[in-house]
Amino acid sequence: MKHIVILISGTGSNMAAIVRAAQQQHWAERLNARVAAVVSNRPGAKGLDFARQAGIATGVVDHQGFDSREAFDAALQAEIDRHDPGGRPALVVLAGFMRILTPGFVAHYAGRLVNIHPSLLPAFPGLHTHQRAIDEGCRLAGATVHQVTAELDHGQILAQAAVPVLPGDTAEALAARVLTQEHLIYPRAVAELLQKI
């Protein structure tokens, strides 16, 4: 059985979309895969409640308890790997996980670490993507599922979805429209990647 570990920092709406897809599409039977755990760097992350209610193991590695990014990433790696009998899950999925990961962590999960970013990469890596798209006069915005590399918001693009930027859009309105597409493309991209592993 292929194990997936999902990392979150907040409400975990993309995590919830993946969990629901895994249940509705019977990933256990069809893909020989399951969401084994949801791990957060914030003890109060609301997404942990959703995971527990879905019967999924949870874990917390609070980044505030570490003196360095390397020490935090080492503890996070240990927490992730304990949720797979082979010591390293098939996929580690970042779903609103708001930490920049060290090159050593990324290398440990090379080819098996994915993220979703709220822009049409390579445009607007980093933060404040929706406001930046509006400020630049873009007619389209969207989301990108990509492999994670040591370079922020780079890596092979696995899926994208576009939405129009409407006259008078606010960053919040655009973000909400993009999020509906994230919930569609992220589970699909994860399933397609699992078929190749």
Bridge-based pairing of strands 140-147 and 157-164 is antiparallel
Give the length of the chain: 197
Quickly count helices (H) and strands (E) in the chain.
7, 7
Q: What share of the chain is helix, strand, coil (3-state, %, to 5)?
A: 40, 20, 40
Query: Strand, helix or coil at 64?
Result: helix
Cis before 118 (ω within 30): no
Select which of 117, 130, 146, 183 is catalytic: 117
Quick one: which of 108, 166, 110, 113 has its CA closest to 141? 166
Distance CA 146, CA 3 (A): 19
117 is catalytic: yes
Q: Which segments of the chain does DSSP mark as H helices, in order?
A: 13-24, 27-30, 47-53, 69-81, 103-108, 129-135, 171-196
What's the token pair of residue 113? 């670490």
Residues carrying an active site annotation = 117
